[in-house]
């Protein structure tokens, strides 16, 4: 393949000019017996297979398409490092967007380091391992999905996909790339927008000498909005950047400021959004106004690339498909989505919840802490600056017998790391009270009348029993304000053996009336602040999407748009309150 797949810069909120995309054909070896290290794969062994990075071995786009289990895979490639990258103390950093699950790296036969976690980016400084001429990178990925000791999300634990478990992803599944940084450089940033002070607070980690100047300049539509600078100390920087004109980031209006950051000779281009998130009695308030969350479940699977979209255009098209149906955001479900997708959400004013892929991991033992929390911290660190992320929900559908101490600890860690967003401890089934800002429920009742009766007591804060939870006195909630999974109505354009929730409608009109009735039961509920319909697209054997797996609409999307964009009860109350204030 001559054309580089996924050629775009993979980290649009932290851009440097000196970089090189390493996607494309790599040498590859399947290592079912985990004997590759003993056989010298890290040094000079011949690799007999080929793979197209960044697509997983199970996908057709990888050129392999082998969907059988394989716990160990190897990649090798010769890299060209420009001579100017080696000058004047500059450093060469190798980045891997995501590799499932444990990754080891060798450069020119020398072991560089390892990373554990299959869903977020990581990097290695390879400067000291480079030769002046030829350089060879070798990557090993170990993926022990069946052990119950790692997050796997919706990856199937059987040979075939089944139920709501789908084709696995093994090894590299996001862009591999390298960049050159200066001797003094910025490692990471955290942005804290404050609309009341009309300021952006910036925290940064930096590397290099002490007392180097750190400067930030903000622009909006090409007009300079402000500048601030300070000196580094102890590898840390903190400053306040006032903006002279306030443009709010809102739902449907992703107003973004451009940001240029310099640290000595290092220069990074970024952006930020000015918005304020609050929880008022279980309702999302954005910039001091209530927002009804009209969300769709997005699992981020693709027929040809599995976890990886074939192009940025496909990533954007999924957001546009959602918007066309009247949704204003998504639950990014049981997968950590790539930064480019989040940037597209930022630009479109498309709100999302950030999740982790906790399915497959037993969180009740000590291994739950070791295998989940370190990577969850990496997720939050990587995605903290995206204004589109309005909340975190690391766990999904945990059982009644879950370890409440783990859930509370995870809540405390998350809410202390990020005090600017909403938090849900474990979506859908079992909540630990006091560990969430918003309590949600999953309910796939298919009859709209029965569904409305099910959630009606919540209007008066009366308890209802959550589906999916057994027991006489357990699994009851009274404070839910968010139906974060519902619907899931089965419908196919062709004959299919796939499944959806409940009995399949017998006609298109029955489908629409069921969708309408279920949706309006939530929209017009006086205590509900959000809904999330299951789901945007079919995924393999699960055929309850509003689009097919290959992204064909099953119905006229205007039908869903008309239903979903009706004024919700909480929005009506806000209008009534504003009218009363005006009359007074």
- What pLDDT sits at residue 2? 57
The answer to the question of residue 359 being in a domain is yes
- What pLDDT sits at residue 433? 82
The answer to the question of residue 392 being in a domain is yes
Alpha helices in 483-568 (DSSP H): 508-523, 557-564
User: Is the distance from CB of 45 to CB of 39 less than 8 angstroms?
Assistant: yes
Same domain flag for 252 and 397: no
Same domain flag for 138 and 215: no
Same domain flag for 410 and 449: yes
The answer to the question of residue 13 being in a domain is no
Measure the CA–CA gap between 32 and 19, rounded to whole angstroms.
34
- What pLDDT sits at residue 580? 47
- What pLDDT sits at residue 403? 84
- All residues at 6 or more sequence positions from 509 whose CB lies less than 8 Å from its CB, including other chains: none
Measure the CA–CA gap between 218 and 344, rounded to whole angstroms.
20
Same domain flag for 33 and 95: yes
Measure the CA–CA gap between 258 and 256, rounded to whole angstroms.
6
The answer to the question of residue 1 being in a domain is no
Phi/psi region, residue 356 (left: phi>0; alpha: psi -120 to 50; beta: rest), is: beta
The answer to the question of residue 7 being in a domain is no
Residue 526 sits in a domain whose CATH number is: 3.20.20.80
Q: Which tokens belong to 299?
A: 């699992």
Same domain flag for 232 and 364: no
Mean pLDDT by 10 residues, the chain (584 residues): 87 97 98 95 95 98 96 97 91 97 97 97 97 95 93 95 96 98 97 98 96 96 97 95 98 98 97 98 97 98 98 98 98 98 98 96 85 96 98 92 88 96 93 90 96 95 72 66 97 88 94 98 98 98 97 98 98 64 46
Residue 241 sits in a domain whose CATH number is: 2.60.40.10
Same domain flag for 516 and 478: yes
Question: How many residues can be counted in the chain?
Answer: 584
- What pLDDT sits at residue 467? 62
Ordered strands of the 480-487 beta sheet: 422-423, 389-393, 351-355, 329-332, 293-298, 530-534, 480-487, 439-443
- What pLDDT sits at residue 471? 39
Measure the CA–CA gap between 314 and 574, rounded to whole angstroms.
37
Measure the CA–CA gap between 295 and 279, rounded to whole angstroms.
17
User: Pick from 251, 277, 303: which residue ends a domain?
Assistant: 277
- Name beta bridge partners: 332: 298
- What pLDDT sits at residue 559? 98
- All residues at 6 or more sequence positions from 246 whose CB lies less than 8 Å from its CB, including other chains: 195, 198, 274
Same domain flag for 88 and 174: yes
- What pLDDT sits at residue 473? 44
Number of domains in the chain: 3
User: Pick from 181, 197, 218: which residue ends a domain?
Assistant: 181
Same domain flag for 174 and 62: yes
Residue 44 sits in a domain whose CATH number is: 2.60.120.260
Same domain flag for 273 and 285: no
Measure the CA–CA gap between 535 and 321, rounded to whole angstroms.
12
Same domain flag for 401 and 524: yes
Q: Position of tokens 């997005």?
A: 298
The answer to the question of residue 335 being in a domain is yes
User: Is the distance from CB of 224 to CB of 241 less than 8 angstroms?
Assistant: no
Alpha helices in 132-246 (DSSP H): none
User: Is the distance from CB of 425 to CB of 437 less than 8 angstroms?
Assistant: no
Measure the CA–CA gap between 127 and 161, rounded to whole angstroms.
42
The answer to the question of residue 160 being in a domain is yes
pTM of the model as a whole: 0.95
Q: Which tokens belong to 156?
A: 């199937």
Angle in degrees, CA 416, 422, 428, rounded to 5 = 110
User: Which residue range(s) make up the domain with 316?
Assistant: 281-581
User: Is the distance from CB of 397 to CB of 365 less than 8 angstroms?
Assistant: no
Alpha-carbon distances, residue 153 vs 168, 299, 333, 371 (angstroms): 9, 10, 8, 13
Measure the CA–CA gap between 540 and 164, rounded to whole angstroms.
9
Same domain flag for 209 and 296: no
Same domain flag for 456 and 387: yes
Measure the CA–CA gap between 100 and 117, rounded to whole angstroms.
7
The answer to the question of residue 10 being in a domain is no
Measure the CA–CA gap between 325 and 555, rounded to whole angstroms.
10
- What pLDDT sits at residue 577? 52
User: Pick from 118, 150, 181: which residue ends a domain?
Assistant: 181
């Amino acid at each position: 393949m001559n054309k580089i797949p996924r050629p775009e810069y993979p980290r649009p909120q932290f851009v440097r000019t000196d970089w090189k995309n390493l996607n494309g054909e790599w040498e590859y070896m399947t290592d079912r017996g985990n004997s590759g290290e003993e056989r010298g794969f890290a040094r000079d062994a011949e690799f007999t297979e080929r793979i197209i990075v960044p697509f997983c071995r199970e996908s057709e786009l990888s050129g392999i398409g082998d969907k059988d289990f394989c716990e160990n895979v190897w990649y090798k490639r010769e890299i060209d490092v420009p001579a100017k990258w080696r000058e004047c103390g500059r450093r060469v950093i190798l980045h891997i967007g995501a590799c499932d699950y444990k990754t080891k790296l060798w450069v020119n036969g020398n072991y560089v380091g390892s990373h554990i976690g299959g869903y977020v980016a990581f990097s290695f400084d390879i400067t000291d391992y480079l030769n002046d001429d030829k350089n060879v990178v070798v990557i090993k990925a170990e993926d022990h999905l069946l052990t119950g000791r790692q997050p796997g999300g919706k990856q199937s634990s059987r040979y075939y996909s089944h139920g709501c478990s789908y084709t696995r992803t093994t090894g590299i599944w996001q862009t591999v790339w390298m960049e050159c940084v200066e001797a003094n450089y910025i490692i990471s940033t955290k942005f804290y927008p404050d609309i009341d002070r009309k300021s952006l607070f910036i925290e940064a980690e930096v590397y290099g000498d002490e007392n180097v100047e750190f400067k930030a300049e903000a622009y909006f539509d090409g007009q300079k909005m402000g500048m601030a600078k300070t000196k580094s100390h102890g590898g840390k920087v903190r400053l306040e950047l006032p903006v002279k004109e306030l443009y709010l980031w809102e739902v449907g209006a992703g107003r973004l400021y451009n940001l240029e950051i310099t640290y000595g000779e290092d220069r990074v281009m970024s952006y930020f959004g000015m918005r304020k998130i609050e929880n008022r009695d279980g309702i999302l308030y954005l910039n001091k106004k209530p927002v009804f969350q009209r969300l769709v479940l997005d699992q981020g699977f693709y027929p040809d690339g599995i976890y990886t979209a074939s192009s940025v255009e496909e990533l954007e098209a999924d957001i546009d498909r959602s918007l066309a149906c009247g949704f204003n955001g998504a639950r990014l479900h049981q997968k950590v989505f790539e930064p480019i997708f989040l940037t597209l959400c930022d630009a479109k004013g498309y709100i999302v919840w950030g999740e982790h892929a906790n399915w497959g991991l037993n969180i009740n033992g000590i291994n739950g802490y070791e295998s989940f929390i370190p990577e969850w911290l990496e997720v939050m660190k990587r995605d903290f600056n995206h204004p589109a992320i309005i909340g975190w929900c690391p766990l999904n559908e945990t059982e009644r017998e879950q370890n409440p101490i783990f859930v509370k600890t995870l809540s405390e860690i998350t809410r202390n790391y990020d005090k600017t967003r909403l938090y849900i401890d474990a979506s859908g089934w079992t909540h630990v009270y006091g560990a969430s800002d918003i309590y949600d429920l999953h309910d796939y009742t298919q009859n709209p009348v029965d569904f409305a009766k099910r959630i009606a007591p919540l209007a008066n804060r009366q308890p209802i029993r959550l589906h999916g939870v057994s027991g006489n006195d357990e699994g009851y909630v009274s404070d839910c304000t968010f139906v974060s999974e519902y619907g899931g109505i089965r419908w196919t354009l062709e004959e299919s053996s796939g499944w959806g929730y409940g009995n399949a409608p017998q006609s298109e009109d029955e489908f629409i009336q069921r969708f309408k009735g279920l949706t309006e039961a939530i929209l017009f509920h006086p205590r509900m602040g959000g809904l999330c319909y299951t789901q945007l697209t079919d995924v393999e054997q699960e055929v309850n999407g509003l689009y097919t797996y290959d992204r064909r609409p099953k119905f006229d999307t205007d039908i869903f748009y008309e239903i979903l964009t009706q004024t919700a009860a909480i929005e009506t109350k806000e209008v009534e309150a504003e009218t009363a204030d005006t009359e007074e």
